[in-house]
Structure 1
């Protein structure tokens, strides 16, 4: 894995999100109650963008079909089988860093 900087950490306040394009991939980083959560910007159901989905606590609703995903786990609440592609994110020297699989 390698890490890529996507901007200043202080640019993402609690409740906000940031869309970034990294190596041809669309990624969204959310600040959920002070915790950073990063996902690929693609619903596992049909590939719809999740960047503008409604966020209720840690649950993100896909704007295309209303599927809901918990950003803490990437999974649908309850018995849902679909799962988001979750990416490791952290702050290093004031920068938001996304970890990408290099395989």
Structure 2
């Protein structure tokens, strides 16, 4: 069963912003990209570098340590194969962002800011 962890009010993370959060002992980065919230583990799968300050180009995050690129919508590197980020489903419930920690997930679980995921 997944653990639903309330993180912050959805209005506190405006489009284009990111926030580093420590949730249940994990370092997780939340991104608001065009009103959709994405949550990833703050550790590059290549060598564990922090991703919180990586350069964001649209939905693609570049690891500041070695330049690897990951699509936040899928967690995967662009193209075929490669490494993948640990992503977490996010929903907005009663105006609060809620992250599910036990079910690293797909982009289908990411919710537009200000609305509940279905």
Structure 1 gap segments, 5+ residues each: none
Write the distance in 2 (CA, Å) between the matches of 1:90 and 1:15.
18
Partner of 2:21: 20
| TM-aligned CA deviation for residue 79 of structure 1 | 2.3
Q: CA RMSD in A?
A: 1.1
Give structure 1 regions of 4+ aligned residues with deviation exceeding 2 angstroms.
none
TM-score, normalising length from structure 2? 0.83
Shift of 1:38: 0.5
Aligned-pair CA distance for 1:46? 0.4
Separation of aligned partners in 2, 1:81 and 1:39? 17
Equivalent position of 1:99 in the other structure: 100
> What is the aligned partner in structure 2 of residue 39 from structure 1?
40
Q: How many residues align?
A: 102
What is the TM-score of this pair, normalised by structure 1?
Answer: 0.95
Q: Which position in structure 1 is the counterpart of 2:106?
A: none
Deviation string, structure 1 residues 64-94 (Cα, Å, up to 9, x no partner)? 0000000001000012410000100111111
Structure 2 regions of 5+ residues with no counterpart?
104-118
**Structure-2 separation of matches of 1:92 and 1:36:** 13
1:66 is aligned to 67
Write the distance in 1 (CA, Å) between the matches of 2:39 and 2:24.
15
Shift of 1:5: 0.8
**Residue 6 of structure 1 pairs with residue 3 of structure 2:** no
The residue matched to 1:10 in structure 2 has which SS? helix
